[in-house]
Amino acid sequence: MLWVTIAIAAAAAPFGSGRAKAQAAAEQPSHLTFEVATIKPTEPGVQSGMIKPLPGGDGYTVQNLSVKMMIIVIYRVPGRQILGGPEWLSSERFDVEAKADRAYGVEELHEMFRNLLAERFSLKLHQELKEGPVYELTIAKSGLKMKPDGEGQDTKIPILPGPNGSVGTKVPMKYLCWWLGQNLQNDNRPVIDKTGLTQSYDFTLAFAPQLPPGAPEGNIPPELLNRPSIFEAVKEQLGLQLTPAKGPVEYYVIDHIEKPSPN
């Protein structure tokens, strides 16, 4: 099994009612680029994968990940909402080491990485927005139970596994929505922020993992299976609520991509 450590920056997207707004630009190019970047195929036999900003905020590192996973992370979109592209987009894995000329914030580093994908992989994509099934994240009647921790996100991974559950540190709401959507493995519903909260938060969240239909429970420790469902845990431990609804679902359509240009 490939274990992937990820750090995602929040990115908002507009939504229009009715039919899809095709050909809308997913991300506009900017002048921000890494000073130097190397891309190479991962050596055979590597089992784990990772993508995250460098600790000092002056670059990005990727180990043993597909380009599709990079797009998932950098554009903060679930893989099921990435359409098109060749087979190697998901199957071939790469290592990336990218350095900037100085320290930047997470949002700026993600702009640089989007430009890197455009320049070195010739990635061209567009966004389509459609109304579909979503989960709306709202504040529960019991009240918010997370601890405020300023605003924005630093270069550390906001949510990490801990002995008593997942530990969130300085987590923006958009990141939390993405992360919850990733853990709702049996649902094709993205999580939409309807809390109105603008700060970042600290918390611990412990819930039983969702297993695919028919998957055996024998490999899951009993103490994990005995935890509440993700829906119950979000309500009881965070003071938030996940409610099924209709809302904006964003799709990223691959128009063109090539294997990376030489370093």
Domain boundaries defined on the chain? 4-125, 130-247
Q: Note whether 83 and 253 are within 8 A (CB).
A: yes
Residue 106: the pLDDT is 86
Q: So what's the pLDDT on residue 155?
A: 75
Residue 78 φ/ψ, nearest 5 degrees:
-60, 145
Q: pTM for this one?
A: 0.75
Question: pLDDT value at position 184?
Answer: 86
pLDDT at 215: 66
Report strand pairing: 59-66 vs 147-148: unpaired
Taking CA atoms, 209 is separated from 84, 160, 227, in Å, by 29, 15, 9
What pLDDT is recorded for position 157?
81
> CA 193 to CA 176: how far, in whole Å?
9
- Give the residue among 44, 77, 51 at the shortest CA–CA distance from 65: 51
| CB neighbour list of residue 220: distance below 8 Å, 6 or more residues apart | 209, 211
Reading the chain (263 residues) residue by residue, the pLDDT tens digits are 333 444 333 333 333 333 333 343 444 445 899 999 999 999 998 988 999 999 889 999 999 999 999 999 899 888 889 999 999 999 999 999 999 999 998 889 999 999 999 999 999 999 999 999 999 999 999 999 999 998 877 777 889 989 889 999 999 998 999 899 888 877 878 999 999 999 999 999 999 887 766 666 667 777 777 899 999 999 999 999 999 999 989 999 999 999 997 77
Helix (H, G, I), strand (E, B) or coil at 95: strand
The pLDDT assigned to 35 comes to 95
Helices 67-75 & 106-120, crossing angle to 10 degrees? 140
Cα angle 187-172-175, degrees, rounded to a multiple of 5: 30
